[in-house]
Structure 1
Amino acid sequence: MTKQAVSTLSILLVFLFHCITTLAQSAAAPVLPANAPAQPANPPAQPANPPAQPAIPPVQSAKAPAPPALVPVQKGPTDVTKILEKAHGYSVFVRLLKSTGVAKQLYRQLNSSNNGFTIFAPIDSGFSNLKPGTINSLTDLQMTQLIQFHILNTVVALSNFQTLSNPVPTEAGDVSAGAFPLNITTARNQVNISTGLVNTTLGGTVYSDDQLVIYHVSKVLLPLDIFNPKPKPKKAAAEAPTPTASKPKTTKEDAPVSPSGAITTVDEAAAVSLSMHGMLESIGVVVVAFFVMK
């Protein structure tokens, strides 16, 4: 063979080899649909990270009610109503102190004697928590007793409540019959008050001096004798007396009249005696007349 023929054969073999290689690669590659959508050049961007959740604030514990503000000691005459007005929050109790006249009594005794008092002053919310009509349904006497039930006729410091004997007497009245029982007990630094209908604790000191101390209470102290009185014992029905025979009474019309005009009474025995005496006199007169005629 000539060099030209060898060269042409070599070129032909290389071309065939290239064709076979291309066909083999095409058979191995996956067949794509004719109208397959073009793949996006770049994958979509990932969404931004969501904002961090705000930290949950810690749960705040319920705050204990703030102690009442201590009213400074008054200069001049001691006036309970002015003290409570300065303390704020006792407007209903102040109004009842004035309307019942208890405020004037306290003012007179505090400023003209050495008498001392302890007052449990209910805040306005204590009155608003009562059933509607509770206060307005009271008589004037009951209203006065209700206010006096909040007053002790002595000065009791916080450290001395444990020395009291129950029931504690109040200005409302005697406790011997159980009409106005006020029981006071202490547990550590807490002073508990019970009336039989209401249980509460002292909330703090509003005012304090040598003659007067006022404590804050959150409830109205309701005494048993006013809001839950005991039924009065029924008296046993009196037995009907056994009827007895009685002599007829002489009336004014039947009674003989004396010469002076006074009414006299004559009993039956005297009447019989007088009748017999008259009959004997008549018989004697007849006998005498009989002998004279002879």
Structure 2
Amino acid sequence: MASLSLSAILLAITSPLLLFFSHCQAAQSSTAPGPSSTPVNLTGILDKGGQFTEFIRLLATTQAEDQIENQINTSTEGMTVFAPTDNAFNNLKSGALNGLSDQEQVQLVLYHILPKFYSLASLQTVSNPVRTQATGQDGVWGLNFTSQGTQVNVSTGVVETQLNNALRQEFPLAVYEVDKVLLPEELYGTKAPAPAAPSPKRSTSNSSSSTTTKSHSEGPSASEQSNGGGKVTSVLWGGGVGLALICVGFLS
């Protein structure tokens, strides 16, 4: 009887504690979602959409595909992808894509990805600019979002387009179709012209030296020639007068 009473007392004490800890664990799991138990395949989602062949090719050639899918399935923040259609790539100017280096193509792909899950509703109130996966040591590569009603627009500073069809909008991945390739200012912005080279300074000493040399090479100036001629005329005149006086004295 005593042991039965002790068991009942222990049960009465521990039951509320167990219930309390179970509630805490449930609340914690609901506020901080963990990685998805079912692997998410970004390429499969894009392939099912049927008009993202060029974007899928870029994901593969830049080797960003495996990195992105691994992060999607291990991150507690999720990811958001903006997928340009094939028409969006076809509308690019000639050389806009092929003119990029391998590293720049990787940056272009990562610029279409946010390292966090965003629903369309959350993008309407987000603080701009929103960092993309292309952000690194060289600065923030961000996107700006504006909304009108339920319509959300995304801007890079070079292009602006609407977020159209949501191919997927379930944590941990949101994928939105866009009709334009999101061209970052860091790669496609107008570059400032290079400063003009300073004109060479003329040396004052050289100028003076050249002027002096030129004066000597050109001979005496006109005034010097005039003074010299006057001196010669005076000498001849004086000599003539003296000779005339000598002759007069001899005759007398």
Of the three residues 185, 195, 206, the one matched with 2:146 is 185
Aligned to 2:112: 150
CA, structure 1 residues 204+103, in 2 after alignment: closer, same or farther (shift >3 Å)? same
- 1:201 and 1:128 mapped to 2: Cα distance? 18
- 2:193 and 2:39 mapped to 1: Cα distance? 44
Shift of 1:232: 9.1
Q: Deviations over 1:249-274 (max 9, x none)?
A: xxxxxxxxxxxxxxxxxxxxxxxxxx
Aligned to 1:12: none
Aligned to 1:137: 99
Aligned to 2:174: 213
| 1:197 partner letter | V
| 2:178 partner letter | V
Asked if the contact 1:91/1:124 (under 8 Å) is kept, the reply is yes
Aligned to 1:44: none
CA, structure 1 residues 232+80, in 2 after alignment: closer, same or farther (shift >3 Å)? farther
Any idea what SS the aligned residue of 2:130 has? coil
Q: Unaligned stretches of 5+ in structure 2? A: 1-35, 199-252
Asked if the contact 1:169/1:175 (under 8 Å) is kept, the reply is no
Aligned to 1:172: 134
Q: Deviations over 1:23-57 (max 9, x none)?
A: xxxxxxxxxxxxxxxxxxxxxxxxxxxxxxxxxxx
Of the three residues 126, 129, 142, the one matched with 2:88 is 126
- 1:113 and 1:141 mapped to 2: Cα distance? 24
- 1:174 and 1:168 mapped to 2: Cα distance? 13
Shift of 1:106: 1.2
Identity %: 39
Asked if the contact 2:82/2:175 (under 8 Å) is kept, the reply is yes
Aligned to 2:48: 86
Q: Deviations over 1:192-230 (max 9, x none)?
A: 111111110011200122100000111100001101254
Shift of 1:75: 8.9
Q: Deviations over 1:45-92 (max 9, x none)?
A: xxxxxxxxxxxxxxxxxxxxxxxxxxxxx9942111111001110000
Shift of 1:174: 5.1
When normalised by structure 2's length, the TM-score is: 0.59
| 1:106 partner letter | I
CA, structure 1 residues 75+174, in 2 after alignment: closer, same or farther (shift >3 Å)? closer
Q: How many residues align?
A: 162
Q: Deviations over 1:104-152 (max 9, x none)?
A: 1111112233241001101000000011221111001110111111111
- 1:195 and 1:166 mapped to 2: Cα distance? 11
Aligned to 1:228: 189
Asked if the contact 1:184/1:194 (under 8 Å) is kept, the reply is yes
Q: Deviations over 1:147-178 (max 9, x none)?
A: 1111111111111112211111111115995x
Query: Aligned-pair RMSD on alpha carbons?
Result: 2.6
Q: Unaligned stretches of 5+ in structure 1? A: 1-73, 238-294
When normalised by structure 1's length, the TM-score is: 0.51
**Structure showing greater Rg:** 1
